[in-house]
Amino acid sequence: MLTDQKVAIQNLFVQALETMGVTQTEVLLERPKVAAHGDLACNVAMQLARALKKNPRQIATELIAALNAQPQTADLIASFEIAGPGFINMRLSDAAKTAPVRRVLKEGESFGQNQDHAGESIIIEYVSANPTGPLHLGHARQGALGDVLSNLMRTQGWNVCREFYYNDAGVQIKTLTDSVQLRAKELQGETIEFPENGYQGLYIKDIARDFLDKKTICTRDGQEITASGDINDYDNIRAFSVGYLKNEQDSDLNALGVAFDNFYLESSLYSDGLVERTVKALVASGHTYEADGALWLKTTDFKEFGDDKDRVMRKSDGTYTYFLPDVAYHLSKFERGFIKAIDIQGSDHHGTCARVRIGVRTAGRQLGLNIPDVFPVYVLHKMLKVVQNGEEVKMSKRAGSYVTLRDLVNWVGRDAARFFLVSRKADSEFVFDIDLALAQSDENPVYYLQYAHARICSVLAQAREKGYVVPQASELAQTDLSALLTPQAMALIARLGEYPETLTVAAKECAPHSLCFYLKDLAGDFHAFYNAERVLVEEEDVRNARLALLTATAQVLRNGLALLGVSAPEKM
């Protein structure tokens, strides 16, 4: 049922309880496990038995009387029934049962959205790959998770910023430059000894070849970088290689349908003095010490965060560990006006969660910032295994040592790639079955959902071909829906009503997979209704009622698939 209906019924219970002298009682409404028992159930009478020193069934009887005394009750509840030791089962009124259909038809694309967080800003950081090679499956999973989660947050009114953080200040960039330089020398006929820690993929030779050919690339910010072709021009090799791979990563992300609002450079944390400011703030907090020539943060002072040992901030050689710029970076997020931050990273980053939060809170307090204890929120994902023809696919021809994001999109297409990548809880491992993703059967969830939408579109087209007038959604919203009281229709309508709450919970729990589960259930309920009820009947009132239900179902399927970044075809 609709969230606002549920809240209205809960309020009716609260008001009825107040007339019985009971205040501050939480009222929980649930769907009965057995559909024949009704549409909703409440166990509040059993919860109050001890406090009121009465039999639960007696309390339930008095509560139902108090509920029926309220004039608004009849608009929502058709009947009450006391079951077992004191459960109150309810059957919704016909108007309440069919209300989700009317609301979907009236609200269209905006159905399910709310403005609970209007005016509040959230930053979601994901992918954040070093510009040193093609994006791998972990980046693919992050890209899909981050993009869908951003879409979900927008449905709750959040002002969302999607950010990509470039670690452009580390040793990886030097390794990339060295690797390209050596391959360029090799292409010119020199015999080289390639280091084990060098980047081995064929893409390095592609960059080296284009560098020697003096090609020009244009980066996303409009900057042109022309290769000099001089294998001793180290700075030019570096700039060309980084720009080349940034463009390639942008192209791969575009193939997956992932875009960003902002790109943040780690190097700017140093050039803008944010790292040094963070160090001073942490030292001033009194929670640092020096040992073995290094500067440490005593994270074990903060038992509530559960870090098991102190952490090095500045190494004995004067360089900073990754932890320090991470803290400076998250301080900048808060100072840029984001009251909530979400980081989507691989599960191998689990150890950084506590120390970063400790550093952010500790430095933030010294800087006069009222930062929440849980800042940032981490969504940690596990890697996935790709299987084709029953065997694991482990390597890309171009990357050399791993399957790339582009490989995945090329194999199964954007729709299947995005859906499968978010279809499981982030911290669970799963197998991406290429054959399943390509299958045109009900076993493939993407096909199953898209076919449900296409099937509805086909029915609407058939109606017009038969000469029936198919009213617009706004007209269908006003039609008589009394013909929709069959069990299959009611199950489908109830599922439609769950959509707004599904979005709210998915956003709150950072759980895009729950939207996938919901849509599969919705498609299942639609197919059950379609197989049980003939839509294009002669009786106009019955036909229009069923067309209204199908039109609403198609709308919710489109809305949900759009949030997942998956198309909703009208023909298949």
Full-model pTM: 0.92
- Is 169's pLDDT higher than 80? no
How far CA 212 is from CA of 195, 205, 222, 227, in Å, comes to: 21, 10, 22, 7
Token pair 């905006």 is found at 110
What tens digit of pLDDT does each residue of 472-490 get?
999 999 999 999 989 999 9
> Exposed/middle/buried for 7, CB within 10 Å: 0-12, 13-18, 19+?
exposed
Please report the domains of the chain, with CATH numbers, ordered by start residue.
3-92 (3.30.1360.70), 171-256 (no CATH), 445-564 (1.10.730.10)
With bands split at pLDDT 50, 70 and 90, how would you rate the model's confidence at 16?
very high
What tens digit of pLDDT does each residue of 379-425 get?
999 989 999 999 999 888 788 788 999 999 999 999 999 999 999 99
* Beta-bridge mates of residue 53: none
How far CA 83 is from CA of 37, 60, 260, 482, in Å, comes to: 9, 10, 54, 28
pLDDT for 88 equals: 96
Counting every residue written for the chain, the total comes to 572
- Is 138's pLDDT higher than 90? yes
Token pair 């933030």 is found at 364
**Is the CB of residue 357 less than 8 Å from the CB of residue 375?**
yes
pLDDT for 35 equals: 79
With bands split at pLDDT 50, 70 and 90, how would you rate the model's confidence at 31?
confident
Half-sphere exposure of residue 369, counting CA atoms within 13 Å on the CB side? 24
Q: What residue type is 302 in one-letter code?
A: F
Query: Around Cβ 247, how many Cβ atoms within 10 Å?
Result: 16
Helix (H, G, I), strand (E, B) or coil at 343: strand
Q: At 187, list the tokens.
A: 């292409």
